[in-house]
Chains A and B, each alone.
Chain A
C-alpha cells in the first residue's frame, strides 16, 4: 500500500550504539593483551643489542638452535606420519575402546611434561619396559640422545595434530568422498585429492601448533634426554641454563626463539593458508 519511507537519518548513529562493545570487555581484553605484550617488551628492552652478534655466535647457541629446529621439525614430521592415520581412525572407524584411545592420545596435553619425560624414561630407558629389549636387540639407546629429544617432543606435541585433524575429519561432509568414489577414484586418490585438501586448513594449523609446542618443549626433554650440549640441549634448555649467570646470553637466545617462531608463523600463513 504505502511505499517504504526512507529510514530516518539517525540510522548510522543508532547502529554505532548497537555495535559499540561493552566497556568492561574492552578493559579486560586490553589487560589480556598486556600479558602478552609486556613480557615481549621487557625482553626487547633488556636485549643487549650492541653485542648481540657476539652473544649468539657461540657454539652453545648455534648448536642449541640447530638442535631445536631439527628436533621440532622431526617431531612434527613424525606426528604427521603417525598422527594423521591415528586421527583418521579415531574420526572414521568405530572400534571398541575408541573413547579410551582418544583419552590416551589427549593425555599428554594435561600431563605435566616432567611426568611425561619420566614415563618415557621408565619405558625406553636402558632398564625400561621397551628400552632394555630394544638395546639388546639392536644396540639402540634412546634416552639422553638426540632421538630422545625428538621422541620427547613428539610425545608432548602430537596431540595437537591429532586433536585438530580429528575434529576436521569429523566435521567434514563425508559425502564428498562418496561422490569422488562414484567418479572412479580409488581410496588413495580420494584421500589425496579430496579428503586432505578439504581438511588442509585444519591440517596446517595442527602442524603449526605441533611444531610450536615441540619447539618450546622443555620438561619432558630435560627429564628424558637430559641437558647435554650439542646432543640434547635445545634452545629452551640453553636459555634456562644461561639464566643462571649469563643473563645477556639468555635474553639474546630468547629473542632468537621469538623471531624464529614469528617467521615460521608468518611463512606458513602465506603459503599454506592462501586467502581464497
Chain B
C-alpha cells in the first residue's frame, strides 16, 4: 500500500516514481552484457546492470531486440558474446563456455501473452514451478493458493486459464513467476496484452508487487508510460544498442535520440477529469475532447501537438496560457522547449519557428494545445 501512496506523492512528475538507486555497485544484482548475432544486418549488444530492489525498464520499439534480450537473460537462447551474471553466479559466458539452462537460472518470467498452461487449473499453474522444484504436492498447492491470494485472485483456483479475463491471467502469470522465489523478475511487455482500462488498474498493483520483490526487476516494454511508471531507471534500446540510460525524468526531459524524443518525450501528467476538464495535479487545467472519462486520469500530450506563440493566440482554442521557457535545446533540425508552470510541458518545434520567434530561455510565450490532441486514459486505483 505504501508503495502506491508513494506513486501518488510525486504526481506532478509521474515519472519520478522512486528515487533512482545506485546501480553501479558490484553487488548481488544482475550484470548482463548481451551480445547476440541475430542476422547479418542486426545484432544485439546491450549492457544492463540492475541492483536488487531496483526496477529497470528496457524501452524500445518493435524490432529493437527486446525479445532477444528476454530470451538471452531467461536462458532460452545462448549468447554469442558477452556475459550474464546474477547474484554473483555466471549464467552465460561463451568465452568461458558456461551456459546455465533456463531451468536452473531461477529467473521468474512474466511473458507477454502470459503463456499459462491451459491444460491445468489456475492453482496448478502457480504451483508448477514449486512442483518442478520438488516441493511436495500439498505444500506446493498451499503456497500457490497464498500467491493467488496475494495478487487478489482468491476464488479462481480451480478455473482454467482460458476462463480468466486478461487482467486475471496477467496476475496469475505474475503469481506463477513469483511462487518459486526467483532471483530476478523479468516482465516482458507485462501490460500490452490488456485493454486500456485494465492496464491502468493493473499498472498500480503491478508497481506494488514489483516493490515487494526484493531482487532485481527488469521490465521489457515498448510503451513509455509503462516504463516511466514502473521503473527506477530506463534503458532505451534501439536497433540492438542501448542509446540512453537514465531516470524516467532524464529520459523524458533530456532525450538524446529522435526515437526517445518522439516516443518517450511525450508529456505525461496526472489529474482528475470532470466534464471534459482535467484539473492537473500540481496546478492548471486542460480541456479535453473525451467527455466520457471521469475520475483520476493519465494525460498525455505529444510535444509536437503544442504550439508556441509570442502573443495571445487567435481563435477558439481553450487550452491557452502564458508562461516562460525554462530550457531550449537543439535536437537536430528540431528544438525542444521546456515550459514553466502552470502546466510544465515539453514542446517540440522546428528550428525555423524558434528563430522566427526568437525563443530562448526565459522568453515569455503563449502556449496553445488543441483539446483533440490530448490523450486521456483512466488511472483508477484498483
| Chain B residues, CB < 8 A from A173 | 115
A198 at the interface (CB under 8 A from B): yes
B129 at the interface (CB under 8 A from A): yes
B193 at the interface (CB under 8 A from A): no
The CA-CA distance from A185 to B101 in the complex, in Å, is 10
- Asked if residues A185 and B105 are in contact (CB atoms below 8 Å), the reply is no
The CB with the most chain B CB atoms within 10 A, among A176, A179, A183, A185, is that of A183
The CA-CA distance from A231 to B117 in the complex, in Å, is 47
Contact with A along B128-151 (1 / 0, CB 8 A): 110011000000000000000000
Nearest-neighbor residue (CB-CB) of A173 within chain B: B115
Q: How large is the interface on A (under 10, 10 to 19, 20 to 34, 35 or more residues)?
A: 20 to 34
- Asked if residues B76 and A183 are in contact (CB atoms below 8 Å), the reply is no
Would you give the shortest CB distance from A254 to chain B, in whole angstroms? 39
The CA-CA distance from A105 to B102 in the complex, in Å, is 33
Secondary structure dominating the interface of A: helix
- Asked if residues A182 and B132 are in contact (CB atoms below 8 Å), the reply is no
The CA-CA distance from A181 to B117 in the complex, in Å, is 13
B180 at the interface (CB under 8 A from A): yes
| Chain B residues, CB < 8 A from A197 | 117, 119-120
Q: A175-B111, A189-B132, A193-B128 are in contact. Are A182 and B117 (CB under 8 A)?
A: no
- Asked if residues A183 and B105 are in contact (CB atoms below 8 Å), the reply is no
- Choose one: B101, B118, B119, B133; the contact of A181 (CB below 8 Å): B101
Nearest-neighbor residue (CB-CB) of A182 within chain B: B109
A256 at the interface (CB under 8 A from B): no
A180 at the interface (CB under 8 A from B): yes
Would you give the shortest CB distance from A93 to chain B, in whole angstroms? 16
- Asked if residues A184 and B111 are in contact (CB atoms below 8 Å), the reply is no
Q: A179-B109, A179-B111, A200-B119 are in contact. Are A185 and B75 (CB under 8 A)?
A: no
- Asked if residues B111 and A198 are in contact (CB atoms below 8 Å), the reply is no
Would you give the shortest CB distance from B190 to chain A, in whole angstroms? 14
Nearest-neighbor residue (CB-CB) of A189 within chain B: B132
B107 at the interface (CB under 8 A from A): yes
The CA-CA distance from A176 to B109 in the complex, in Å, is 12
- Choose one: B74, B119, B160; the contact of A182 (CB below 8 Å): B74
- Asked if residues B128 and A182 are in contact (CB atoms below 8 Å), the reply is no
| Chain B residues, CB < 8 A from A194 | 117
A178 at the interface (CB under 8 A from B): yes
The CA-CA distance from A184 to B183 in the complex, in Å, is 12
- Asked if residues B75 and A180 are in contact (CB atoms below 8 Å), the reply is no
Q: A178-B74, A178-B76, A276-B160 are in contact. Are A184 and B106 (CB under 8 A)?
A: yes
Would you give the shortest CB distance from A176 to chain B, in whole angstroms? 5
- Choose one: A175, A184, A193, A276; the contact of B115 (CB below 8 Å): A175
B356 at the interface (CB under 8 A from A): no
Residues of B within 8 A of A (CB): 71, 74-76, 101-109, 111, 115, 117-120, 128-129, 132-133, 160, 176-177, 180
6 extra interchain contacts, Cβ-Cβ under 8 A, other than A179-B111, A197-B117? A181-B101, A181-B103, A182-B108, A183-B177, A198-B117, A276-B160
